[in-house]
Chains A and B, each alone.
Chain A
Amino acid sequence: MSDMIPRPKPRPGPESLPYWQAAREHRLALPKCDRCEKFWFPPSASCPHCLSAKFTFCDVSGRGKVFSHVTFNRVYRASFSERVPYVVALIELEEGPRLLTNIVGISPEEVRCDMPVEVVFEDIDAEASIPQFRPRGSC
C-alpha cells in the first residue's frame, strides 16, 4: 500500500468544507435543514427540499444500502493504477441522501444492489480523510 501513488484529495468549496472537516474527525455529517429537518447531499447553501438557508451539519448513522455500483477495470488516473479493479458505489443512507463512495472489505464480484453497508474512514494523509463503506457487520 505504501508504494501507491496517493489518491487525489478532495478540493472542498466553501459549502462542503464542514463535511470534510467532520470526515477528518471520522464523522459523517450532512447538512440538515433547520426548518423542514431533512438532510441533503451534496452540501449547498440552501435546502433543496424547502429552499431554507438555515441549516446545521449533523452527524448521520453511517448506515445505508448500495443503490447501484460499478467496477473500474480501466485506469483513468495514475493514482488508481494499482487499485484496479475497484468498486465505486452509490450509497443510499438511512437518512435519505445518496453519496458516491468506494466499497471496501469485499471483492468486487460480491457487491450487490441493496446490500447493507456502513461507513468506515480512510486517511489519505495527515490532513484529509474520506468516507468509505463496507458490508455491514464485517470488520
Chain B
Amino acid sequence: MMSIITDTTQIEPSRELRDTCAIVGTATSRLGKVPGVSSLDLLVEAIRNALDDAGLQASDVDGVLCRGPDESYSHHQLVAERLGINARFSTTLTNGGASQIMSVALAVMAIRFGLAKTIVCGFGRDTWSRTHASEEARVKNETRPEAMRAREFGPEYGYFGATAAHAFGATRHMHLYGTTRDQFGEIAVAFREHALRNPDAQMKKTLSIEDYHAARMIVSPFGMFDCSLRSDAAGAVIVTSAARARDMKQPAVLIKGFGTHNNTRGWFADDNMVVTAAKLSGEAAYRMAGLGPRDVDTAQIYDCFTYMVLTQLEDYGFCKKGEGGAFVSSGALRLGGALPCNTSGGQLSEAHCEGMLQIVEGVRQLRHTYPVERQVKDAEIALISGHGGNQVCHSTLILGRAS
C-alpha cells in the first residue's frame, strides 16, 4: 500500500536557512520526581538555567515558543510573564512531541526574517506528580483532560492510551519483517546503560535483557520496559542568529536543517504505523542541511516506546526498512557503537519531556564538554527527532558543531 502524499511535487526547503541560526544556551530543570512544582515552574526553571548557560538575561530574549500542558491556554504568555518580558514573537504549539523541534524551526524562520532576535524554546511537564503525587492521582491515573478523550470507536472495546496505538505498529512490523522483542529489548537496555552514566537520569538501576523479558506485559507486544517514563521534567534552548552567536559564552551549535511531516490521514491509515512521517520529515531536513544519514554522528530519537526508535532509524535511512532489528542488535546504538543514540538515556531511562531533552542532549554532545564516558567521540553532526500529535506528526532537527 502506498503512502498518500497530497502534493507529490518535491519541495525544496530553503537552504538559505541553513547555518543562519544557532543554539547558544541549553539546560534542563530538575528531572524525574519533582513533587510540588507545576509544569510551568519547571519550564521557567529550565529557561533560567539555559539563560545562565548562555550568559544572557531574560531581558535579552524577545521571543517565546513553547508547548503547554493540554489544558493550558496561550501557555507562552504565562511563561513570558514569569520571565518578566514582553515578546516580539511568541506562540504555543500543539503538535505533542513534535512541537519542540517545530518551536526551534519556527524560531529560525522568525529570526532569519527579522521578527525577533533571540528566542527561547522549551517544554515542561509534571506527569510523574500528576499520576503519583497523591492517592487521588494514583487512582485517577489520567493526564489528559476529558475533552481530549475518545467518546466512541475505542473505549467500548477497551482501547485506551498511547501504548496500544504504538503497539499496533510494533505488531505489524514484527509480522512484516520478523522483528523480535529481543531487538526491542536491546533498545531499552542500551538506553538504560546510557542513563547510568547520567547523574540526572530518573532511572538508576541496571537493566539486563533478562530483566526486560521478565517484566510484566502492559499491552502486548509491549512490556513495562518498552514504555517511556512518567516524569516531571523541563528543558529549554535559546536560539539566536549565527552572527550573534559568535561572541557568546558557549561554543555555538548551528542549526543546519529541519523538516516536518504529518501523516494526517492517521496512524491507522495506509502504512503509516510502519513507515512513519519521520521519513519525509527527515528527507526535508537532510535536504536543507545538505547532508545524509551517513553524515550523522549521533541520533537523539523520540523514544516514547522502543519500537518507535527502531522504525524511525529505518525511516531516517540509517538502515533499510525492515532491517532495524538487525541494526539495533549489532550494538550500533550504544556509546562507542556505529550510531550512538539517546546518549543521556532517552525518554525510556533519563526522563520523558516529549522530545525536549533530545534537543538538549544533541546540543551538549556537539559542545564536546562531556566526560569521556558520555561523549560521542568527535561528534560533528546530530540528528534529533520529534514525534507526536496522535502518532503521526514528525519533526526533525539537524545540528552541527560550528567550525
Q: Which A positions have Cβ atoms within 8 angstroms of B?
A: 7-13, 16, 20, 42, 67-74, 76-77, 79-80, 83, 85-86, 88, 90, 98-102, 108, 112-114, 124, 130
Chain B residues within 8 Å of A112, by CB: 175
Instruction: Give the Cβ gap from A121 to chain B, nearest Cβ, in Å.
Output: 12
Q: Which B positions have Cβ atoms within 8 angstroms of A?
A: 151-161, 164, 167-169, 171-172, 175-176, 216-221, 268-269, 273
Instruction: Give the Cβ gap from A14 to chain B, nearest Cβ, in Å.
Output: 12
A70-B168, A74-B218 known, 9 other contacts, Cβ within 8 Å: A7-B157, A10-B152, A12-B151, A68-B168, A68-B169, A69-B168, A72-B158, A88-B158, A113-B176
Assess the B158–A13 pair: CB atoms within 8 A.
Answer: no
- Known A-B contacts A88-B164, A90-B268, A112-B175; A71 and B156 likewise in contact (beta carbons under 8 Å): no
Assess the B175–A113 pair: CB atoms within 8 A.
Answer: yes
Mind listing 20 A-B residue pairs with CB under 8 Å? A7-B157, A10-B152, A10-B153, A13-B152, A42-B153, A68-B168, A68-B172, A70-B171, A70-B220, A71-B219, A73-B216, A73-B218, A74-B217, A74-B218, A77-B160, A80-B158, A86-B158, A90-B168, A98-B268, A100-B154
Q: From B158, which residue of chain A is reached at the shortest CB distance? A: A80
Assess the B168–A7 pair: CB atoms within 8 A.
Answer: no
- Known A-B contacts A98-B268, A108-B220, A114-B175; A70 and B156 likewise in contact (beta carbons under 8 Å): no
Q: Which of A12, A73, A112 has the most CB of B within 10 A?
A: A73
Q: Tell me, in angstroms, the Cα distance from A72 to B221 when the chains sit together.
A: 9
Assess the A7–B164 pair: CB atoms within 8 A.
Answer: no
Chain A residues within 8 Å of B171, by CB: 68-70, 113
Chain B residues within 8 Å of A102, by CB: 157-158
Assess the A72–B164 pair: CB atoms within 8 A.
Answer: yes
Q: From A86, which residue of chain B is reached at the shortest CB distance? A: B158
Assess the B160–A76 pair: CB atoms within 8 A.
Answer: yes
- Known A-B contacts A72-B158, A72-B164, A76-B160; A10 and B172 likewise in contact (beta carbons under 8 Å): no
Q: Tell me, in angstroms, the Cα distance from A74 to B217 when the chains sit together.
A: 7
Assess the A85–B156 pair: CB atoms within 8 A.
Answer: no
- Known A-B contacts A70-B220, A113-B171; A76 and B161 likewise in contact (beta carbons under 8 Å): yes
Q: Tell me, in angstroms, the Cα distance from A70 to B161 when the chains sit together.
A: 12
Instruction: Give the Cβ gap from A61 to chain B, nearest Cβ, in Å.
Output: 20
Assess the A7–B217 pair: CB atoms within 8 A.
Answer: no
Q: From B152, which residue of chain A is reached at the shortest CB distance? A: A10
Cβ-neighbour of B156 out of A8, A69, A90, A113 (below 8 A): A8
Q: Which of B154, B155, B176, B221 has the most CB of A within 10 A?
A: B155
Q: From A71, which residue of chain B is reached at the shortest CB distance? A: B220
Q: Tell me, in angstroms, the Cα distance from A77 to B219 when the chains sit together.
A: 14
Chain A residues within 8 Å of B219, by CB: 70-74
Assess the B151–A11 pair: CB atoms within 8 A.
Answer: yes
Instruction: Give the Cβ gap from B227 to chain A, nearest Cβ, in Å.
Output: 10
Cβ-neighbour of A70 out of B151, B152, B221 (below 8 A): B221
Assess the B164–A16 pair: CB atoms within 8 A.
Answer: no
Q: From B176, which residue of chain A is reached at the shortest CB distance? A: A113
Chain A residues within 8 Å of B273, by CB: 68
Q: Tell me, in angstroms, the Cα distance from A67 to B273 when the chains sit together.
A: 11
Q: From A7, which residue of chain B is reached at the shortest CB distance? A: B156
Chain B residues within 8 Å of A79, by CB: 158
